[in-house]
Structure 1
């Protein structure tokens, strides 16, 4: 049985409740994040791809449209059903499964590239370390598997909820990983303007 995360305990709601409303979830912008599109265009995604906390699947589906084998996971069954319907409608071969981000060893699979777009910052400090260890079990060590984390930053104005610092990222990924880069970015939401919110893009290698 999965334990509620710190965010779920704080809000008193399962993540699935975010997808059972009339309006889209705040992070569901109706398409892939521009940062993900740019990374993909530059060859940042190679081999098999895992999309952590995939929601309704827009990032995973964009990568699948480029011919990459993609598995997206989430704990929200409603979001996964929406993602599967989109994949069928677009005739894309992305897979979507329900999984606990803190127990990815249960997937029994390893991926060459992992994307976390908006999940890391929802965890508290203890969960982040547990999450990093969980991700390690699903990330290939051969040829240095790569993890990209796009998360709300604590620097700048009009920050998103649960903003994190550079130090939060490096502290979480101190064991089994090498943090190659953390650069300022923007992340689109439904409650920010077209410029989005301040974010970090971290490139992290499996070691």
Structure 2
């Protein structure tokens, strides 16, 4: 969730109080007797004007993660979503769209997964015989990825790091995967992001971006990305081969979330 979404969510929550809960959802108001038959998540969803159960579930997951990030009571790093449970996007398996690319032979050479989480995409790619590296801000997620690598006997490299400090890797890659990171970036951070990508991608290297699309209804969670936004971000020094509709797997929507999968080639050694 980026700063704009945090602001929007906070603004909405400012107006959620007992007066905002519809009478039909507030047994206490009607009877004067406490009643726990209506779960608090249903009351919150009603107060926020959310009728779709899946969207309500996503809101609760977002709020729980936000609480952990703001309080820091669970982990020394309040921005580490992995310390108090499984985040909605960690399904315990590779993303379907990424697996399909791997099966089609799209990945080659040295492969980097930025924001790799607990490493499912990386381990799948490494199992194909490619040199695969995973990079994530969450130390907890990287520890889990390293444990999986050891348990499965799959050789892969994992490192804790920031997507805006990719030069710390001190190497270039032939394939880079962004599976669920781009839609979390603020507008001002997009140029910084592409500059960092350019620093670690060889000319001719391919970038695959999997992100929320604007086909997903407005609501809590990551921002919805238009095709135009992707095209406006990757201009000089980049060539967009394709932007196709797909789905992004998560633990809330059984059929996945509408998403884009973009194939983008690095065309210059340095970014202008």
Report if TM-score (shorter chain) is over 0.5.
yes
Q: Which of the residues 159, 170, 176 maps onto 2:231?
A: 170
Task: Rate the CA distance shift 1:35–1:66 in 2: closer, same or farther, 3 A.
Answer: same
CA RMSD across the alignment: 2.0
Number of aligned residues: 199
Unaligned runs of 5+ in 1: none
Whose helix proportion is higher, 1 or 2?
2
**Given that residues 218 and 224 in structure 2 are in contact (C-alpha distance below 8 angstroms), is that contact kept between their aligned partners in structure 1?**
no
* Aligned residues of 1:16 and 1:78 also touching (Cα < 8 A): no
Separation of aligned partners in 2, 1:39 and 1:182: 13
Question: Which position in structure 1 is the counterpart of 2:263?
Answer: 203
- CA positional deviation for 1:161: 2.4
Task: State the partner residue of 1:102.
Answer: 164
- Local SS of the residue matching 1:67: coil
**Which residue is equivalent to 1:149?**
209
C-alpha distance after superposition, 1:130-153 (max 9, x if no partner): 101111111111xx1000000000
Distance in 1 (CA, whole Å) between partners of 2:95 and 2:248 is: 7
8 A contact 2:172–2:202 mirrored in 1? yes
- Does the aligned pair in 1 maintain the 2:244–2:260 contact within 8 Å? yes
Alpha-carbon contact 2:216-2:224 (below 8 Å) kept: no
Q: Which has the higher contact order (CA 8 A, sep 6+)?
A: 1
In terms of mean alpha carbon deviation, does 7-16 or 84-93 score higher?
A: 7-16
Mapped to 1, the partners of 2:162 and 2:4 lie a distance apart of 14
Change (3 A) 1:106 1:152: same
Q: In structure 2, what is the equivalent of residue 17 of structure 1?
A: 80
Q: List structure 1 segments (4+ residues) > 3 angstroms apart after TM superposition.
A: 5-12, 156-160
The separation in 2 between residues aligned to 1:39 and 1:15, in whole angstroms, is 34
Q: TM-score, normalised by structure 2?
A: 0.69
TM-score, normalising length from structure 1? 0.90
Q: Which has the larger radius of gyration?
A: 2
